[in-house]
Amino acid sequence: MEYNGGSLASDHLCVLVHGLWGNPEHMKSIAKALRDKYSEDQLYLLVAKRNSGSFTYDGIELGGERVCHEIEEELELIRSKGGNIKKLSIVGYSLGGLVARYAVGLLEMRGVLDRVEPVNFTTFVSPHLGVRTPLRGWHSQAWNVMAARTLSMSGRQLFLIDDYRDTGRPLLSVLTDPESIFMSGLKKFARRTLYTNAVNDRSAVYYTTCIAKTDPYADRGRIQAHYLEGYEDVILDPLNPVSLAAPKRERRTLAGAASHGLRQAPTMVALAVFIPIGVTAFLLTSVVQTFRSLQRIRLHESGLAGIRVENYRSPIWTKDIRGTVEDVYENLNSSQGPSYLPPAGDGSPLDETGDETESDPIALKRRQSHPQFPTLALAPAQFAMIDELDKVGWRKYPVWIHKVRHSHAAIIVRSDTSRFSEGFVVLRHFVDKEFLI
């Protein structure tokens, strides 16, 4: 990575953490944007590299330990050469945002955040609430349970079916425990910012990357977008992103319907041919990668992977309480349409499984929020996560990418292609308006 490193004169270290299936090159455009704005004397860059590729299957906990170890090594290396880092910023992309949140807790536990000033914590399209599709009934079993088992430990954690250290709670729930080292560390940052794709993100949809109970962008025909001045057509105004549009009456003729069907026919034929092949390859690869991931996890736990695990396994609470493969996955994930909770006061249970009723205070609370848009059928743990994460305060920026039908990679210009050009607008806003030096 050509933008890695900096001058020993710099007192500010910024760490960049890539996402699932990713590698340091995915962070190249973010690194370049920061370097174009700030010289090596102003900002030292560390692009984390130890979770590259299939290593991201190994889980958020293990990934966070690797990143924490990498940060501590870099700080020690800079000190040994005569440098003195006084400020720390962390930027996470996709799964990297969750890995970064875990690493922050470990840095807090090990006293690093008392020795440096935590400045910026920023995530780009990170699934803070996991990637469980808001579904009700048997759909939840058909997709959320099956998909969770194709990505090894990371999949179990992202779909909230893991049991973190025998707490009886998923890791993502523990990450938002107000008494945990993870929340204590996160609160220390002077600024917490997130960028979320409002539309067309097939990997991590709006509700989870924006930490929200509703999705105003699910029906684009109902809304009028309001853009941030100077960043028109890409970044929405965070104070007033959308309003309800006047209803439109559409007349659809038989000829129009037939024409639409003919246009869709080639796509449907292609899907019928290639989806079975892609799914088969995806499942076979998942089996192989899960096996390899379990082997790496066993090596890590035994201390044979180069990290002394005991250094990162102290109590996690501040108080003594317990509280192509990628393309196939994204296509399958994006094909799951979300479900919504019934309107308040209709007397209906939360879902067909009978897990909750109207007597549940969480269920009642979530149905009363944002009445103009329906509340998503999230899991109880996800609603609790939203409440706790919102308490620490986030500057949230919805992004509307128009040029591509899959915006997850475009928002950070993950590769050199003109189709991702709108992502440069997002990066310009990040370095000019959000990043504190």
Domain for residue 146, yes or no? no
Return the closest-CA partner of residue 430 out of 399, 391, 402: 399
What integer pLDDT is reported at residue 368 of this predicted model?
Answer: 42
Domain with 212 in it? 12-130+165-247+292-323+376-434
Answer for the pair 324, 279: CB distance below 8 angstroms, yes or no.
no
Q: How far apart are CA 424 and CA 30, in angstroms?
A: 9
Domain for residue 264, yes or no? no
The one-character DSSP state at 247 is: P
Return the closest-CA partner of residue 279 out of 204, 333, 205: 333
Domain for residue 410, yes or no? yes
pLDDT interval class at 218 (50, 70, 90): confident
**What are phi and psi for residue 338, nearest 5 degrees?**
-75, 155
Q: What is the number of structural domains in the chain?
A: 1
SS3 at position 321: coil
Please list the residues that pair with 193 across neighbouring strands.
122, 395
Domain for residue 78, yes or no? yes
Q: How far apart are CA 302 and CA 436, in angstroms?
A: 40
Domain for residue 231, yes or no? yes
What integer pLDDT is reported at residue 200 of this predicted model?
Answer: 93
Residue 428 host element (H or E): helix 422-429
**What are phi and psi for residue 41, nearest 5 degrees?**
-75, -20
pLDDT interval class at 14 (50, 70, 90): very high
Q: How far apart are CA 18 and CA 100, in angstroms?
A: 9
Q: Is pLDDT of 115 > 60?
A: yes
Q: Is pLDDT of 360 > 70?
A: no
Domain at 317, CATH number: 3.40.50.1820
What integer pLDDT is reported at residue 249 of this predicted model?
Answer: 61
What mean pLDDT is reported for the chain?
Answer: 81
Domain for residue 90, yes or no? yes
26-35: pLDDT as tens digits: 999 999 999 9
Q: Is pLDDT of 369 > 60?
A: no
Q: How are the residues of the chain apportioned to helix, strand and coil, as percentages rounded to the nearest 5?
A: 45, 10, 40
Domain for residue 23, yes or no? yes
The one-character DSSP state at 230 is: T
Q: How far apart are CA 78 and CA 84, in angstroms?
A: 7
Q: In what order do the strands lie in the sheet with 117-124?
A: 44-47, 12-17, 87-93, 117-124, 191-197, 395-399
Return the closest-CA partner of residue 21 out of 93, 70, 125, 89: 93
271-320: pLDDT as tens digits: 455 446 554 554 555 566 566 666 766 776 677 767 766 677 666 766 54
Domain for residue 359, yes or no? no
